[in-house]
Structure 1
């Protein structure tokens, strides 16, 4: 899925209620009803839902399952197999942790652990309960001479020490 400017606006949309979700998913499914076999539409449908909402809500699985006649367990399996799909809305601010070799040696794991504790992230979760931050790990940001690196949105922070995390994130909490 690309990252066009129009798409980014959708990533921060508010969650829809059940009726709004059903309506949006129904409109998307209209374009895919004629796919044969119906399973061939699963990935494009999930991509389009996520493109509109920024994630795939649980409610969407029920509607897609009914229309495409594909078990919801299969849909969930596809959505959890492919890294591109999200089952939870992204936070307002995206924290990207570099896990490249230089950053790893420089202490990325410690920084990640501090972020998880400070943000009170639950196991297997990457977005805070208040929806303010999402933490993502990438292979390389491309600023190896500044290792270890984190990015918050488009702001790059180099030579990050664990003791700096609270101060860095305070800037984004105030801006909200």
Structure 2
């Protein structure tokens, strides 16, 4: 019988044909460099930009990010596997994340999760046949005062009941955000002569406005 030794020490990443990151994505990442003392400090914003552009961060993309930031690929891999937000493989166009914290469990989160599974015909870590939805759970979504809650992509849906599930999932705008996550890293536009302080007129208007807008059940 012939035996074949397999090298399990040297990391191997399959290269895709041509670069994975477009020049526009690379330029977006480079735009972060002046804000930090080192390029490595721009790793998290870079990961958000790549995931926004590609839908996930493949192993090949991690290597290209490492090259841009002049760091070992292992540092990119360590970071991306630490945060549950990032995906290393293709997922549905919309990712449903159901909170399973104590608050959400007490308020009926398990029933909401069951309703989603029943409506879509999938289980956790699965994707619908049409590629529209993937389903996952998370320990906490930081929305305990609005339990039970869930995310569709980055949009938070609050106080969800099992009978709300069908309506929410059929809404084409159920994941719409006013500002994409990666754009939150953009520097605010500089206004000539701005001091960072409100004018007296602005302050008076703020004080004189006593009305408050009601909080929506879904926020982006």
Structure 1: gaps spanning 5 or more residues: 1-16
Structure 1 residues 76 and 171 mapped into 2: Cα distance closer, same or farther (>3 Å)?
closer
Cα 1:100–1:54 shift into 2, 3 Å = same
The aligned residue for residue 70 of structure 1 is 71
- Structure with more relative contact order (C-alpha pairs < 8 Å, separation 6 or more): 1
- Alpha-carbon distance, 1:66 to partner: 2.2
* 1:22, distance to aligned residue in structure 2 (A): 3.8
> Deviation of residue 74 (structure 1)?
1.4
Distance 2:90 2:130 in 1: 11
Structure-2 residue corresponding to 1:39 = 40
Relative to 1, partners in 2 of residues 1:85 and 1:20: Cα closer, same or farther, differing over 3 Å? Answer: closer
Contact 1:149 1:160 in 2 (8 A): no
1:56 is aligned to 57
TM-fit CA distance, 1:172: 1.9
Provide, for residues 1-21 of structure 1, a one-character-per-residue CA deviation record: whole Å limited to 9, x for no partner: xxxxxxxxxxxxxxxx96563
Q: Conserved in 2, the CA contact under 8 Å of 1:151 and 1:157?
A: no
Contact kept in structure 2, 1:121 and 1:128, CA below 8 Å = no
1:172 pairs, out of 159, 170, 173, with 170
Q: Is the 8 A contact 2:66 2:72 kept in 1?
A: yes
Write the distance in 1 (CA, Å) between the matches of 2:95 and 2:82: 22
Distance change in 2, residues 1:150/1:46 (3 Å): closer
Aligned residues: 150
Q: Decide which of 157, 160, 163 is 2:162's aligned counterpart.
A: 160
Contact 2:63–2:73 at 8 Å: present in 1 too?
yes
Displacement, 1:41?
2.8
Per-residue deviation at 1:72? 1.6
Contact preservation (8 Å) 1:65, 1:72 = yes
Looking at CA atoms only, which structure, 1 or 2, has the larger radius of gyration? 2
Structure 2 partner of 1:85: 86
Once the two structures are superposed, residues 92-129 of structure 1 have per-residue CA deviations (whole angstroms, 9 ceiling, x without a partner) of 4454535454541344235425644754246xx36546
1:39 Cα deviation after fit: 2.3
Matches within 5 A, 1:1-176: 19=19, 21-31=21-31, 37-87=38-88, 91-93=92-94, 95=96, 97-99=98-100, 101=102, 103-113=104-114, 115-116=116-117, 118-121=120-123, 125=125, 127-128=127-128, 130-135=130-135, 137=138, 138-140=141-143, 142-143=145-146, 158-160=160-162, 168=166, 172=170
Residues of 2 paired with 1:100 and 1:29: CA distance?
A: 34
Partner SS for 1:21: coil
